[in-house]
Amino acid sequence: MENLNEKKGMPLLGDSFPEMTVQTTRGIFNLPSHYKGKWFVLFSHPADFTPVCTTEFIAFQQRYDKFKALNCELIGLSVDQVFAHIKWEEWIKENMDVEIEFPIIADTGKVAETLGIIHPGKGTNTVRAVFIVDTEAKLRIMLYYPQELGRNMDEILRVVEAMQISDKNKVAMPANWPNNEILKDRVIIPPATDVKTAKERLKKAKDGEFECYDWWLCHKKLE
């Protein structure tokens, strides 16, 4: 089912997401074109019917509306048959009263191999990976976790929102944004790269256009 491009090896930040045709619990998708004009988060899990993965899917579903509010879709993946995915969804609904509304890719192993997420020494189990893809189908963030550690979905939400704000406003985001210990929810103006701009930066700060600790560390409130 998977028609993957010829590039081999783990993708890098800034690469185009590999083109592929995948079987999902919501039908056959062509990625990344299925999400044209949207951000999407593709996240892999080691296997269906496992405890940590079950808690993760519930957590993702409980935040699905927040992701959609950011024009961002979710799509899961593991090396399991689509029948297993469907049965697992049914189990979660029956036992946890949570209906999984986003699709899950049923991978034969080729998609996981293309993305470089087969767990070493653990058969066909995939690493807990997160690929965040923008509206131009570019890989913007990749996160990896061991099997023993569940992901923090609020952090994934945070970074999607932060990258969208960064792109729109041409700014950088401080640590722990929007709760930075020094700047709170303010954003960072990219540092000057020449002497003239550095001097102008400090003058603009004096004029109240933004605030600076120095010419290379200036910040402002989002409008």
Domain residue spans in the chain? 20-153, 170-223
**Backbone dihedral region for residue 208 (phi beyond 0: left; psi -120 to 50: alpha; all else: beta):** left
Per the model's pLDDT, the better-predicted residue between 82 and 127 turns out to be: 82
Residue 202: is its pLDDT beyond 90?
no
Q: Which two tokens stand for residue 205?
A: 């700060």
Which residues participate in catalysis according to the annotation?
53
Residue 86: is its pLDDT beyond 60?
yes
DSSP letter assigned to residue 151: -
Residue 192: is its pLDDT beyond 70?
yes
* CATH homologous superfamily for the domain 20-153: Glutaredoxin (3.40.30.10)
Q: Is 212 exposed, middle or buried (0-12, 13-18, 19+ CB in 10 A)?
A: middle
CA distances to 140, 164, 179 from 158, in Å: 14, 10, 11
Quote the percentage of the chain above a pLDDT of 70: 93
- Tens-digit pLDDT profile for residues 148-183: 999 999 999 999 999 999 999 999 999 999 999 999
Per the model's pLDDT, the better-predicted residue between 112 and 158 turns out to be: 158
Q: Say how far apart CA 184 and CA 189 lie, in whole Å.
A: 15
Q: What is the pLDDT at residue 199?
A: 84
- 130, 102, 131, 157: which is closest to 17 by C-alpha? 131
Q: What is the pLDDT at residue 15?
A: 95
Q: Identify whether the C-beta of residue 115 lies closer than 8 Å to the C-beta of residue 5.
A: no
Q: Say how far apart CA 191 and CA 212 lie, in whole Å.
A: 10
Instruction: Tell me the pairing of strands 39-44 and 72-78.
Output: parallel
What value does the mean pLDDT of the chain take? 91
Q: Does domain 170-223 have CATH number 3.30.1020.10?
A: yes
- The count of other CB atoms within 10 Å of the CB of residue 98 is 16
- Tens-digit pLDDT profile for residues 52-67: 999 999 999 999 999 9
Q: Say how far apart CA 170 and CA 164 lie, in whole Å.
A: 10
Q: Region 139-155: what's the mean pLDDT?
A: 95
- Tens-digit pLDDT profile for residues 4-33: 544 556 789 999 999 999 999 999 999 999
Helices 51-62 and 153-169: crossing angle, nearest 10°? 40
Ranking 45-49, 100-104, 159-163, 197-201 by mean pLDDT, the lowest is: 197-201
Q: Say how far apart CA 6 and CA 112 lie, in whole Å.
A: 14
- 157, 114, 160: which is closest to 134 by C-alpha? 160
- Amino acid at position 73, single letter: E
Q: Identify whether the C-beta of residue 75 lies closer than 8 Å to the C-beta of residue 44.
A: no
